[in-house]
Amino acid sequence: MVKREKVSSEELVVSSDFVASQQNLIGQSSDNSILTTPHSSLLTPHFKQLLDSKSCFKLICGAGNENLEEIERLVALYAKSGCRFFDLSASKEVLAAAQRGLDFAIPKEQQKDYHFCISIGTKNDQHVQKAVIDPEKCKNCGKCVEICPQDAISKQQMANSRVGLLSHRYEIVGKNCIGCMKCQKVCEFDAISFHISHFTFHSLLTSHLSLFTCIELHASDTDEAEVDEIWEYLNENFDGMLSLCLSRRKLSNEQVLNRIKRLIKDRKPYTTIIQADGSPMSGGEDDYKTTLQAVAMAELVQSANLPVYVLLSGGTNSKTAQLANLCGVNFNGIAVGSYARKIVKKYIERKDFFKNEAIFEEALKIARFLIK
């Protein structure tokens, strides 16, 4: 059962870009219907069975992705394709959009077998940061626009008062940006940096608890004290599944394992998922190389023989399960983000996505092929 009484009055601050939505998180939903949907039971036998089956597929919509239309469509499509676990940004609006997608695809009476996970992050974790373009440094070359997988960079027309003509500049569309840093890598003028905003998430634990059964902490930064503080808060106040997403971008193998062991010591066996994050948000391609680090990270966790579920993520694609099996790596499931979104992007973006049955069916075939 949920230990609501333990929610502290002192608000923990975690990283995200949802400054604008902070008031909405704390306030009441304008759509009260979403507060009474059937996601009320935590750690249900079905949820554990899903992980015990060793074939769990988790769709990562993106910890920083607040594009509500995209999220609704992705959840609808992948739920219809057989996915039962969805990773979402910790936002009331995002949860509502995901619920609309689920309502489109799955009858209410079956929705108890579908699980939403909200993602939060430590303040320097890549998953909860957003890009910013410095207009002083930007040379308008457009390279970042071409590489961005989320269409998160827009061209803004501006009046040029000196010559009376229109010029343009590039700006980040915050709700679409997932912090993948691909734009920064191609910018030759050092014009792109990342910012972290803060919001308090604990109100979601009380006001919207019926909508999710899992919370994921992205904790690949080196600040052990911050990780401990947030994890302890979650452990005390949430009786659902906790997921810890870790990569080796900043941590050594030893640090990763020590962190896991320390954080799970007060938790019951198999109430924690370790999301073994290979190369975070790198899954644009469908080859073995892209997914190699995810398999290696899962192997590291597996070798420690801990009472946790293991999901592979970060560069995951249709080759991940095959490579993990070839390497003798056991896992409970695969979480796919960039690649899962990319392969259906052209369908999701269509205005008639929900109305055109042929289009929806075509997208369904592609999503089903990835999940199987």
Using the contact rule CB under 6 A, the part of the chain among 99-107, 136-144, 264-272, 282-290 near ligand SF4 is 136-144
Cβ(81)–Cβ(364) under 8 Å? yes
Nearest-10 Cα torsion for 206, 208, 211, 217: -70
Report how far residue 369's alpha carbon sits from residue 77's, in angstroms, rounded to the nearest whole number. Answer: 13
Cβ(338)–Cβ(284) under 8 Å? yes
Residue 160's beta-bridge partner residues? 165
By the rule CB under 6 A, 344 interacts with ligand SF4 = no
Helix (H, G, I), strand (E, B), or coil: what is residue 358?
A: helix
Using the contact rule CB under 6 A, the part of the chain among 17-25, 96-104, 174-182, 288-296 near ligand SF4 is 174-182
Q: Could you give the C-alpha distances from 341 to 59, 152, 328, 357, in angstroms and in order? A: 9, 14, 28, 19
By the rule CB under 6 A, 143 interacts with ligand SF4 = yes
Report how far residue 122's alpha carbon sits from residue 263's, in angstroms, rounded to the nearest whole number. Answer: 15
Report how far residue 123's alpha carbon sits from residue 60's, in angstroms, rounded to the nearest whole number. Answer: 20
CB atoms within 10 A of CB 93: 20
Compute the least distance from the CB of residue 210 to ligand SF4, in Å: 31
Position among 128, 148, 308, 324 found at the interface with ligand SF4 (CB under 6 A): 148
Residues 180-239 that bind ligand SF4 (CB under 6 A): 180-183, 186-187, 189, 191-192
By the rule CB under 6 A, 341 interacts with ligand SF4 = no
Q: How many residues bind ligand SF4 (CB under 6 A)?
A: 28
Q: Identify the helix (H) or strand (E) that includes residue 276.
A: strand 272-277
Compute the least distance from the CB of residue 296 to ligand SF4, in Å: 24
Select from 322, 280, 272, 318 the least CA-distant residue to 297. 280
Using the contact rule CB under 6 A, the part of the chain among 23-31, 144-152, 202-210, 292-300 near ligand SF4 is 144-152
Nearer to ligand SF4, 99 or 338 (CB): 338
By the rule CB under 6 A, 104 interacts with ligand SF4 = no
Report how far residue 76's alpha carbon sits from residue 93's, in angstroms, rounded to the nearest whole number. Answer: 16
Helix (H, G, I), strand (E, B), or coil: what is residue 179?
A: coil
Nearer to ligand SF4, 75 or 192 (CB): 192
Cβ(298)–Cβ(276) under 8 Å? yes
Which residues have CB under 8 Å from 328's CB, separation 6+? none
- Token output for 95: 């949860």
Nearer to ligand SF4, 2 or 181 (CB): 181
Nearer to ligand SF4, 178 or 234 (CB): 178
- Token output for 66: 């607040």
Using the contact rule CB under 6 A, the part of the chain among 48-56, 78-86, 135-143, 245-253 near ligand SF4 is 135-143
Using the contact rule CB under 6 A, the part of the chain among 13-21, 134-142, 255-263, 312-320 near ligand SF4 is 134-142
Compute the least distance from the CB of residue 220 to ligand SF4, in Å: 16
By the rule CB under 6 A, 141 interacts with ligand SF4 = yes
Nearer to ligand SF4, 180 or 301 (CB): 180
Q: Is 270 exposed, middle or buried (0-12, 13-18, 19+ CB in 10 A)?
A: middle
Position among 16, 67, 122, 150 found at the interface with ligand SF4 (CB under 6 A): 150
Nearer to ligand SF4, 106 or 141 (CB): 141
By the rule CB under 6 A, 142 interacts with ligand SF4 = yes
DSSP 87-121: EEES-HHHHHHHHHHHHHHS-GGGGGG-EEEEEEE
Nearer to ligand SF4, 153 or 301 (CB): 153
Compute the least distance from the CB of residue 101 to ligand SF4, in Å: 21
Compute the least distance from the CB of residue 177 to ligand SF4, in Å: 3
Binding map of ligand SF4 across residues 152-171, x = CB under 6 A, - = no contact: xx----------------x-
Q: Using CB under 6 A as the criterion, which residues of the chain lie in contact with ligand SF4 when the complex forms?
A: 131, 133, 138-144, 147-148, 150, 152-153, 170, 172, 177-183, 186-187, 189, 191-192
